[in-house]
Structure 1
Amino acid sequence: MRGTFRSPGTREAGGIRTGLRWKLSAAIALVGALIAITLSLVVHNAARVSMLDNARDLADERLQIAQRNYELSGRLNFPNLQRDDPDLPRALREKVDEGRRATYVTERHSGVPDIWAAVPVKDGHVLSLHTGFTDRSTDILKDLDQALVIGSIAVVLGGSALGVLIGGQFSRRLRKAAAAANQVAKGETDVRVRAAIGGVVRDETDDLASAVDAMADALQQRLEAERRVTADIAHELRTPVTGLLTAAELLPPGRPTELVLDRAKAMRTLVEDVLEVARLDGASERAELQDLLLGEFVTRRVAAKDPDIEVRVVHESMVTTDPRRLERVLFNLLANAARHGKPPIQVTVEGRVIRVRDHGPGFPADLLADGPSRFRTGSSDRSGHGHGLGLTIAAGQARVLGARLTFRNVRPAGSPDHVPAEGAVAVLWLPEHAPTNTGSYPMLP
Structure 2
Amino acid sequence: MSLVARVNNSLFLRLFLIFSATVLVFFLIITFAIRQIDRNWRAERLSPLPDFYLDNITLIVDNIGVPPDLERANQLSQELSLTIIIRSPHINWQSDDQNDLDISRAIFVRSLSEQAQMMEVGNEDVIRVSRGGYEYYLNRRVPTLSEYDYVVVYVGLAMAALVLLLNFWLVRRLLAPVKQLREGAERICEGDLSYRVKTHRTDELGELTDSVNHMADSLQSMLEAKRQLLLAISHELRTPITRAKLHLEFMEDGSVKENLGDDINEIDLLISDLIEAERLSNQHQALLAEHVDFADYIGLVLQAYHDYKGGVVFERPEEDVSISIDKLRTRLLLTNIVNNAIRHGRDNPITVRVSFSGNHAVLEVEDQGEGISEEHMEHLSEPFYRADSARQRNTGGFGLGLYLCRLIAQAHGGRLEISSELGVGTHVKVYLPYEQESQEYREDA
TM > 0.5 between the two? yes
SS at match of 1:409: strand
Displacement after TM superposition at 1:310 (Å): 2.4
Take 1:224 and 1:270, find their aligned partners in 2: how far apart are those partners?
19
1:163 aligns with 2:167: yes
Query: Could you tell me which residue of structure 2 aligns to residue 313 of structure 1?
Result: 316
Change (3 A) 1:320 1:136: farther
Displacement after TM superposition at 1:129 (Å): 4.3
1:340 to 338, 344, 365: 344
1:388 to 395, 399, 411: 399
Displacement after TM superposition at 1:295 (Å): 0.9
Query: Could you tell me which residue of structure 2 aligns to residue 376 of structure 1?
Result: 385
Query: Could you tell me which residue of structure 2 aligns to residue 98 of structure 1?
Result: none
Displacement after TM superposition at 1:226 (Å): 1.1
Query: Could you tell me which residue of structure 1 aligns to residue 98 of structure 2?
Result: 110
Alignment of 1:279-294 (within 5 A): 279-294=279-294
Percent same amino acid at aligned positions? 24
Query: Could you tell me which residue of structure 1 aligns to residue 208 of structure 2?
Result: 208
What whole-Å deviation, never above 9, does each CA across 1:143-180 have from its counterpart, x for those lacking one?
77535522431233112321342344346543344334
Displacement after TM superposition at 1:347 (Å): 1.0
Change (3 A) 1:169 1:130: closer
Cα contact 2:338–2:365 (8 A) shared by 1: yes
Cα contact 1:295–1:313 (8 A) shared by 2: yes
Displacement after TM superposition at 1:400 (Å): 1.1
Q: What letter is aligned with 1:347?
A: V
Is there any run of 5+ residues in structure 2 with no aligned partner, and where?
A: 1-15, 48-86, 90-95, 109-117, 126-138, 437-445
Take 1:280 and 1:29, find their aligned partners in 2: how far apart are those partners?
56
Take 2:141 and 2:178, find their aligned partners in 1: how far apart are those partners?
54
Cα contact 2:234–2:274 (8 A) shared by 1: yes
Query: Could you tell me which residue of structure 2 aligns to residue 58 of structure 1?
Result: none
Take 2:406 and 2:368, find their aligned partners in 1: how far apart are those partners?
21
Is there any run of 5+ residues in structure 1 with no aligned partner, and where?
A: 1-23, 56-84, 88-107, 120-126, 411-419, 435-445
SS at match of 1:159: helix
Alignment of 1:258-297 (within 5 A): 258-297=258-297
Q: What letter is aligned with 1:423?
A: G
Cα contact 1:364–1:380 (8 A) shared by 2: no
1:330 to 317, 334, 341: 334
Q: What letter is aligned with 2:365?
A: V
Displacement after TM superposition at 1:193 (Å): 1.1
Misfit runs of 4+, over 6 Å: 27-30, 48-55, 134-137, 379-382
Cα contact 1:337–1:345 (8 A) shared by 2: yes
Take 1:112 and 1:149, find their aligned partners in 2: how far apart are those partners?
26
Query: Could you tell me which residue of structure 2 aligns to residue 250 of structure 1?
Result: 250
Give the structure with the larger strand fraction: 2
2:195 to 191, 198, 202: 191
Q: What letter is aligned with 1:175?
A: K
Take 2:397 and 2:39, find their aligned partners in 1: how far apart are those partners?
87
Q: What letter is aligned with 1:248?
A: L
Displacement after TM superposition at 1:322 (Å): 1.0
Change (3 A) 1:372 1:389: same
Change (3 A) 1:130 1:358: closer
Cα contact 1:32–1:159 (8 A) shared by 2: no
SS at match of 1:430: strand
Q: What letter is aligned with 1:375?
A: F
Take 2:140 and 2:419, find their aligned partners in 1: how far apart are those partners?
82
SS at match of 2:192: coil
Take 1:224 and 1:252, find their aligned partners in 2: how far apart are those partners?
44
Take 1:350 and 1:141, find their aligned partners in 2: how far apart are those partners?
75
Displacement after TM superposition at 1:353 (Å): 1.0
Take 1:142 and 1:112, find their aligned partners in 2: how far apart are those partners?
20
Change (3 A) 1:258 1:38: same
Q: What letter is aligned with 1:407?
A: I
1:350 aligns with 2:355: yes
Query: Could you tell me which residue of structure 2 aligns to residue 74 of structure 1?
Result: none
Change (3 A) 1:260 1:382: closer
Take 2:33 and 2:210, find their aligned partners in 1: how far apart are those partners?
47
What whole-Å deviation, never above 9, does each CA across 1:5-27 have from its counterpart, x for those lacking one?
xxxxxxxxxxxxxxxxxxx9xx8
SS at match of 1:349: strand
Which moved further from structure 2: 141-150 or 297-306?
A: 141-150
1:229 aligns with 2:229: yes
What whole-Å deviation, never above 9, does each CA across 1:50-87 have from its counterpart, x for those lacking one?
889989xxxxxxxxxxxxxxxxxxxxxxxxxxxxx999
1:431 to 425, 433, 444: 433
Cα contact 1:364–1:379 (8 A) shared by 2: no
Take 1:260 and 1:176, find their aligned partners in 2: how far apart are those partners?
55
Take 1:45 and 1:156, find their aligned partners in 2: how far apart are those partners?
17
Which moved further from structure 2: 215-224 or 340-349?
A: 340-349
What whole-Å deviation, never above 9, does each CA across 1:12-46 have from its counterpart, x for those lacking one?
xxxxxxxxxxxx9xx89995897478636974898
Change (3 A) 1:36 1:381: farther
1:130 aligns with 2:121: yes
Change (3 A) 1:137 1:158: farther
Take 1:146 and 1:401, find their aligned partners in 2: how far apart are those partners?
68
1:39 aligns with 2:31: yes
Take 2:28 and 2:391, find their aligned partners in 1: how far apart are those partners?
67
Which moved further from structure 2: 164-173 or 218-227?
A: 164-173
Cα contact 1:114–1:132 (8 A) shared by 2: no
Query: Could you tell me which residue of structure 2 aligns to residue 93 of structure 1?
Result: none
SS at match of 1:191: coil
Q: What letter is aligned with 1:192?
A: R
Displacement after TM superposition at 1:236 (Å): 1.8
Q: What letter is aligned with 2:178?
A: L
How many residue pairs align between the two structures?
Answer: 340
Take 2:147 and 2:315, find their aligned partners in 1: how far apart are those partners?
85
Cα contact 2:368–2:424 (8 A) shared by 1: yes
Take 1:44 and 1:138, find their aligned partners in 2: how far apart are those partners?
17
SS at match of 2:417: strand
Change (3 A) 1:181 1:136: farther
Q: What letter is aligned with 1:360?
A: G
Change (3 A) 1:29 1:292: farther
Cα contact 1:358–1:425 (8 A) shared by 2: yes
Cα contact 1:375–1:388 (8 A) shared by 2: yes
Q: TM-score, normalised by structure 2?
A: 0.64
Displacement after TM superposition at 1:385 (Å): 3.0
